[in-house]
Structure 1
């Protein structure tokens, strides 16, 4: 069998996003902030703006699945950015900011705004804006889901 991963349309997209996240991460490294990842910022800002939330509430606020948010909260807790306290019943936990992350929220909000401004600047330099690509992909997927496209291709291979 030849290696199917040698060809990838996804690869450059993932690599670009990883590189851009890495550039954002350098902002934190430059400021000697330990444990903070760009993927935590939305959740930390939501907790700052809306106060303690259950994992379910935080997942809904950020458009993530409960499972993904549970894993992310665990990682953020390990990094000392959030803590969890028992909720109203034994099944729920409230996620709150730590003193460490409370000190960071103004920087995180400024970094978010600066990142959005940098993206707008980047888009202005492109012949076809990234946001238009996303809208066009979403429109095509509304006609036929990615799942259905993959299943169709699998059917042709068997």
Structure 2
């Protein structure tokens, strides 16, 4: 509610909030699958890295980050969470200065189930995309091509240049 002395709240409008809420809801459903299967302590956000380590073996944080398309900083935080949860450990790397991330026995015991869930999730997503007239994967590709023509940064900067509040 806006009163005469209260500025309007621009955060009440969001074109992307429904997408974020949809993804959070779908992640909650995946987490529910794990809970029903008594796979405790796994979050949907952990699975890609665990599957990647299972498929490729121990990697440095840099190698793992590059393989999943994340920043070193983001992966460092995730590895810390995975280590705390007992899914990975760090071991000496190829030289004294490097460390590699590897799966723990607990992770190796459930990784087959995680791979099965990943395949089932991808199949369910393909099914969903077949039901809708304009699949999300097509939307993402179209947005990526539009951003190749003109970056999101440049689009935002142009709008800010037109807004006196940004001065």
Distance 2:119 2:90 in 1: 28
Distance 1:55 1:135 in 2: 28
**After the TM superposition, which residues 1-158 of structure 1 pair with which residues of structure 2 at under 5 Å, given as runs?**
1-89=7-95, 91-158=97-164
Distance 1:57 1:109 in 2: 21
Q: Could you tell me how far 1:90 is from its partner in structure 2?
A: 5.2
Distance 1:42 1:134 in 2: 20
Distance 1:91 1:149 in 2: 42
Which protein, 1 or 2, shows the higher relative CO under an 8 Å CA cutoff with sep ≥ 6? Answer: 1
Match of 2:4 in 1: none
- The alignment covers a number of residue pairs equal to 158
Conserved in 2, the CA contact under 8 Å of 1:85 and 1:94?
Answer: yes
Distance 1:16 1:123 in 2: 14
Q: Could you tell me how far 1:13 is from its partner in structure 2?
A: 0.9
Q: Could you tell me how far 1:148 is from its partner in structure 2?
A: 1.0
Distance 1:13 1:157 in 2: 27
Length-normalised TM-score, structure 2: 0.90
Larger radius of gyration: 2
Length-normalised TM-score, structure 1: 0.95
Conserved in 2, the CA contact under 8 Å of 1:54 and 1:92?
Answer: yes
More deviation in 80-89 or 3-12? 80-89
- Note the residue ranges of structure 1 that are not aligned, 5 or more in a row: none
Distance 2:33 2:73 in 1: 28
